[in-house]
Amino acid sequence: MSGVGFEDWAALAGDSETSRTEWAALVGAWSEPHRRYHDLAHLAAVLSIVDQLAGHASDPVAVRLAAWYHDVAYDPERSDNEEVSAARARIGLLGLVSPDTVAEVERLVLLTAGHDPEPDDANGAVLCDADLAVLASPPAAYAGYASAVRAEYGHLSDADFTAGRIAVLEQLLALPALFRVPAAAERWTEPARANLTAELTLLSARSS
């Protein structure tokens, strides 16, 4: 899959036995069978958008590495996936990149829990915008995304999932800005808000 091959990883973390082992472990994690949306296709999509927005980042390498780790731990039955993913980055990158880069990757991964970077956080803006870009998809593709997320939460009843999903949608719509990189905000804000509002309206009608 484009963007997630070893050559792409090695450009960030070098070509060594340790690096190859870590890359294989990451690909294995992103390929877990319970993933319906948070899978290798999502990783490739986020990396592709990071590439598009990289000129706005102060440390594009750290942002790309954070993309690799941002959902590496993904268990729909847990609420600490970002914390576990950040810890996984700290351990996995040891000896592959500088301690400063490790620290920045860990910080960025934690930031994806709320997608609300500070105004002067260029790296955070790029990563969060890339992660949320799916929200601005054409309506049919957005419906596919929403359906895949529902499949990941198959252990929940419709009522419980609907209540949780409504909370997520309301949180996203309440953010000061969905996208922080100016070019992304200009292009994606309107379609993203339309998609989120349409899904929220549908779910609210079902739950009433």
For the stretch 154-177, pLDDT in tens is 999 999 999 999 999 999 999 999
Summarised one tens digit per residue, pLDDT across range 90-135 is: 999 999 999 999 999 999 999 999 999 999 999 999 999 999 999 9
* Mean pLDDT across 71-75: 98
On whether residue 196 sits in a domain, the answer given is yes
On whether residue 168 sits in a domain, the answer given is yes
Domain count, the chain: 1
Q: Which long-range contacts (CB under 8 A, 24 or more apart) does 82-86 make?
A: 82/109, 82/110, 82/112, 82/113, 83/110, 83/113, 85/109, 86/110
* pLDDT of the residue at 2: 67
Domain with 44 in it:
6-207
Q: Indicate which CATH number applies to the domain containing 126.
A: 1.10.1300.10
On whether residue 1 sits in a domain, the answer given is no
